[in-house]
Structure 1
Amino acid sequence: MFKNLWHKDKGFVVALGLVGCLILSAIGFYFLGTVPMTEPVGTEIVVHRGDNLESMIQVWFKSYMEGYESFLIPVKQQIKGYEVKSYTTLETGDNPVVQIDFTISPRVKNQDLTLAFEGFEEKGEIHCQWVLWLKESVAQEETYVITRVGRRAQYDAEIYYESGEQEKDEYEQEFIEEIPYTQTMYTYKIDNEKCYVSYDGGQMWVEVPIDLETLVKVSDGHSSYNKLQEGSYLISPNKTAFVFGGAYNAEEKGFSPLKLIYSNDQGQSWQTSVISSEVSGVRVKFVSFPTSSVGYVVAAFGRTMSQEAQAIFKTVDGGITWEYFGSTPRTSLLQAAGFITETIGFFTYPIVEGADTNFYRTDNGYIYSEINLPVIEVDGLTPFVQPEIPYFENDELYLMVGQGPDSDYKGGRLMAKFKSNDLGMTWEFVEYVEPPVTEIG
């Protein structure tokens, strides 16, 4: 009798355990899981008699966004609500183009949703800007099919390249006199449309095996063919690296992936890795390798007026593979970024009236600290307002702070030098520094 009861109880316990596992799995999926986002491309939009295309796009978009308000999808993909700021028709005809500006209120804060909607986060909301390319259906009248979804930067880039302005700009840039290289131990030069690096002050040169236009191209139409963007490269005996990509490719009618070409043996061999295919319209990018294996790339992209999205990517295997690491502390235009240790990084922005600071520090990307530098007054002025990225000199951490773009104190060249004894949390003034006139070769 007791034996039969045990078997019955045992079966009940097993069944109860299975139910518990299913419940835990469901809870885990709800809070931690993801499901593929519904792809707008291929969606048909029917324009009924008496309606217009823009109004029917509004109906479709409302239905699309309501899918993310559902409690049936994982919580980190849910939104509490959204607000459409504007619908703008950019082109009409058989192949219309419509822009939608909107904000999203995520149910829980997470970077995956920000990246998925290709927006930027500010004050708990995700700001998004979608451009829909549509094509009139051949098979069915008054029906349009969404063929592409992108950003305004992509649309503007296509107009730029197709308008003839590209040829004009490239002609002017192509014949700009090449700038002589800076005479430092580790340097680069652009000569005859090729990039070279030197590890001995310019006595010997090694070619970087990449097409120059691919290396220098940016998405705002201001590619420079005679110099590299400051901070987008690193030249040292143990690691040489150049970040490129994220710009519009006219032949492929899309944005190229953000990539890194690097060498660990002073240019004897080179490798190329993909950092991300998710960023488009990259304006500036910064690379730093505080160790030979740990490195960071910070990219600013999708500029809209004075705002832009920014993303941090990290490698722990010397640049072979990269993962999304997080976002930056602000969405105003990024001035400079870099990591000085495996976990500690700094970000600088232009001066914005009303902002407490334009200088930020992060420890492992989880917390951003506002850094307020001592105010240095000279001759009744406070000209030193633009921090650069800190650097180590004889194992001491220093920071150079330059003048703002409109300042001309002492010709605008004088800088203030600061020192930190706590890895950049606090700073003390050291001296004024006037950078020497750069020697060129």
Structure 2
Amino acid sequence: MRQRLNRKNERKRAVNCCSAFLVIGAISLLSACTSANGQSSAIKPGTVYSVGFDGNSIVSYDAGNSYSVDQEGHLSISYRNGSVTAKAPVKLDTTGKVIGMSKDETGLYLSEDKTAIVYGFADGASKPLHVLITNNEGEKWNEYEIQGAKGFETKFIGFTTDKEGWIVSGASHGVGSALNYLYQTSDGGKTWAEIGNANDVYAEQLTAAGFSTKEIGFLGFRFYEDYGPVIYWTKDQGKSWERLSVTLPEKFDEFRMNPLSPTFNGKDGLFPIAVRDQELNDIGTLYLTSKDNGLTWVYDASLDKFKMLDH
């Protein structure tokens, strides 16, 4: 009987090798187990970008990675605060003449484990979106196309694991309005499929985008008559969208607020909100936090970053 129990325990330990390795702290061996089964694995957080009050691209979360564009449009990436640098095989437009190819019309996600760039003018027919992916800090790049995609202005891209990623691509639709289209990948960026967007409930200029899981995602919009923050979210991979209820202290009622792109580290989320006063001066940023993949958010006053706030 004891021998049979020992053999049973040995088989159980073999099947659960990844869990055993995790217990002893062998994270690299855990990754090897998940990779062998073709499953997704976690990646290091990446630098994330948003759209500021002036319509230009700004950093929403700095993971120590950045990029620059020279006068000729060549794009360079810096990892780990300059420890590693790489050239991306794309040339952006610095003249303002090529729609969809300027710095502010290009979406970037910069992680040491996966860097992704989405660019181009996509008309939903003959002109696709282009996606560049590197999994080794620029040593090798792969380029993919999203045929039938739409959008040529503001673009966002990100990954929740090494396999699961998302893109939001926007296009103007009248004065102060825009249509935004969402795409997801489950194979690391090789292929992309369109999912449901929020255009039927709120078709405006996008300032922020982010997903915590394949199902849970957020879109932030520029304030207009509604002082904001205007955030719509989905819990079912874009099949339905509703406005996110945000509870803030009364002292913020008179301010204008633009959501910036949320970031997630496991289930922990951080949602920055840029703030302007009545004279439209930028005065700082407040933060919402989540502990459950963004299903609930709370305001955290300890994270406030304000130049001035006399309230």
| In 1: Cα distance, 2:62 partner to 2:149 partner | 37
**Alignment RMSD:** 3.4
1:407 to partner: Cα distance = 5.0
| In 2: Cα distance, 1:435 partner to 1:277 partner | 43
Aligned twin of 1:229: 104
1:258 to partner: Cα distance = 1.0
| In 2: Cα distance, 1:324 partner to 1:192 partner | 34
Contact kept in structure 1, 2:164 and 2:187, CA below 8 Å: yes
| In 1: Cα distance, 2:178 partner to 2:106 partner | 18
| Structure 1 position 400 matched with structure 2 position 272 | yes
Aligned twin of 1:385: 257
The residue type equivalent to 2:239 in the other structure is Y
Aligned twin of 2:233: 361
1:256 to partner: Cα distance = 3.5
Q: Which runs of 4+ in 1 moved over 3 A?
A: 216-220, 354-357, 404-408
Q: Deviations over 1:407-430 (max 9, x none)?
A: 55xx62322122223432332221
Aligned twin of 1:98: none
Q: Within 5 Å, give how 1:290-439 maps onto structure 2.
A: 290-328=160-198, 329-353=201-225, 358-363=230-235, 364-378=237-251, 382-383=254-255, 385-392=257-264, 396-404=268-276, 408=280, 412-431=282-301, 432-434=303-305
Change (3 A) 1:392 1:309: closer
| In 2: Cα distance, 1:230 partner to 1:413 partner | 26
The higher radius of gyration belongs to: 1
| Structure 1 position 186 matched with structure 2 position 65 | yes
| Structure 1 position 259 matched with structure 2 position 130 | yes
Q: Deviations over 1:207-262 (max 9, x none)?
A: 11112329x97638xx65xxx338810111111111001169xxxxx974211011
Query: Quick one: which of 89, 92, 99 aligns to 1:209?
Result: 89
Quick one: percent identity of the two aligned structures?
25
Q: Deviations over 1:100-158 (max 9, x none)?
A: xxxxxxxxxxxxxxxxxxxxxxxxxxxxxxxxxxxxxxxxxxxxxxxxxxxxxxxxxxx
1:284 to partner: Cα distance = 0.9
The residue type equivalent to 1:416 in the other structure is L
Greater relative contact order: 1 or 2 (C-alpha under 8 angstroms, separation 6 or more)? Answer: 2
Aligned twin of 1:272: 143
Aligned twin of 2:23: none
1:297 to partner: Cα distance = 0.8
* TM-score (structure 1 length as normaliser): 0.48
The residue type equivalent to 1:190 in the other structure is V
1:395 to partner: Cα distance = 5.1
Aligned twin of 1:29: none
| Structure 1 position 196 matched with structure 2 position 76 | yes
Structure 2 SS opposite 1:304: coil
Structure 1 residue ranges without an equivalent (≥5): 1-181, 249-253, 437-441
1:373 to partner: Cα distance = 1.0
Contact kept in structure 1, 2:255 and 2:277, CA below 8 Å: no
| In 2: Cα distance, 1:417 partner to 1:394 partner | 18
Contact kept in structure 2, 1:284 and 1:301, CA below 8 Å: yes
Contact kept in structure 2, 1:185 and 1:201, CA below 8 Å: yes
Contact kept in structure 2, 1:218 and 1:247, CA below 8 Å: no
Structure 2 residue ranges without an equivalent (≥5): 1-60
Change (3 A) 1:183 1:236: closer
Aligned twin of 2:118: 243
1:321 to partner: Cα distance = 1.0
| Structure 1 position 285 matched with structure 2 position 164 | no
The residue type equivalent to 1:208 in the other structure is A
* TM-score (structure 2 length as normaliser): 0.67
The residue type equivalent to 1:421 in the other structure is K
1:391 to partner: Cα distance = 1.8
The residue type equivalent to 1:320 in the other structure is K
| In 1: Cα distance, 2:113 partner to 2:203 partner | 33
Aligned twin of 2:5: none
The residue type equivalent to 2:141 in the other structure is W
Q: Deviations over 1:10-60 (max 9, x none)?
A: xxxxxxxxxxxxxxxxxxxxxxxxxxxxxxxxxxxxxxxxxxxxxxxxxxx
Q: Within 5 Å, give how 1:135-154 maps onto structure 2.
A: none
1:264 to partner: Cα distance = 1.1
The structure richer in helix per residue is 1
Contact kept in structure 2, 1:338 and 1:346, CA below 8 Å: yes
Q: Deviations over 1:173-204 (max 9, x none)?
A: xxxxxxxxx99621112235311112231243
| In 1: Cα distance, 2:70 partner to 2:145 partner | 26
Change (3 A) 1:324 1:218: farther
Q: Within 5 Å, give how 1:149-160 maps onto structure 2.
A: none
